[in-house]
Amino acid sequence: MSHTLLVLNGPNLNMLGKREPTVYGHETLADVQAMCERVGTELGFTVECHQTNHEGVMIDWIHQARGRVSGIVINPGAWTHTSVAIHDALIAAEIPVLEVHISNVHKREAFRHHSYVSLVAVGVIAGFGTHGYALAIQHFAKLLK
Ligand code: DQA
């Protein structure tokens, strides 16, 4: 049976391509999700992609993944730096997590240097642009097979 991976994107990532292109690039969220599905399928995964601007919706998706999904790739956007609730939900899900940031958050404002999600992530990818999502999926191929 093939493993399912969830690719979750948090607030404002629906604006990719329009939002601060010098920081986040010109690709749209649809481009990124299509790339994740392609890379995941090539590696034998079923990939489900979701984006929300609502924290409770994100938490519900994480809970519903428990026991069903083999890995979570998450770009929590600004919730990275603020959300104890998403941190707790990821622990409750008991699923390996890879945290992705398009930008190099460590090169940016000090408030982006702390992540509640990193505390529960297997690893963090930051500053590789949207290629970071592909790197995370490739890493799950190593972890899960
Ligand atoms: C981001 C970095 C966060 O600090 C920011 O709030 C985002 C995107 C990134 O992908 O680089 O929304 O997670």
The pLDDT tens digits of the residues spanning 81-108 come to: 999 999 999 999 999 999 999 999 999 9
Domains for the chain: give ranges and CATH numbers.
3-144 (3.40.50.9100)
Choose one of 80, 106, 113, 135 to mutate for the ligand 1 pocket test, by most ligand atoms within 8 angstroms of C-beta: 80
Query: In terms of C-beta density within 10 A (0-12 exposed, 13-18 middle, 19 or more buried), how is residue 141 classed?
Result: middle
Q: How far is the CA of 38 from the centre of ligand 1 (A)?
A: 23
pLDDT at 125 over 90: yes
Answer for the pair 86, 55: CB distance below 8 angstroms, yes or no: yes
Q: How far is CA 82 from CA 20, 79, 92, in A?
A: 21, 5, 18
Question: What pLDDT band is residue 145 in, cutting at 50, 70 and 90?
Answer: confident
Q: How far is the CA of 1 from the centre of ligand 1 (A)?
A: 34
- pTM across the whole model: 0.97
The rounded distance, in Å, linking the Cα atoms of 48 and 53 is 17
In short, whether 103's Cβ falls inside 6 Å of ligand 1 is yes
pLDDT in tens, 8-47: 999 999 999 999 999 999 999 999 999 999 999 999 999 9
Residue type, 17: G
The answer to whether 113 is a known catalytic residue is no
Answer for the pair 129, 104: CB distance below 8 angstroms, yes or no: no
pLDDT for the residue 12: 98
Report the percent of the chain where pLDDT is more than 70.
99
The rounded distance, in Å, linking the Cα atoms of 29 and 89 is 24
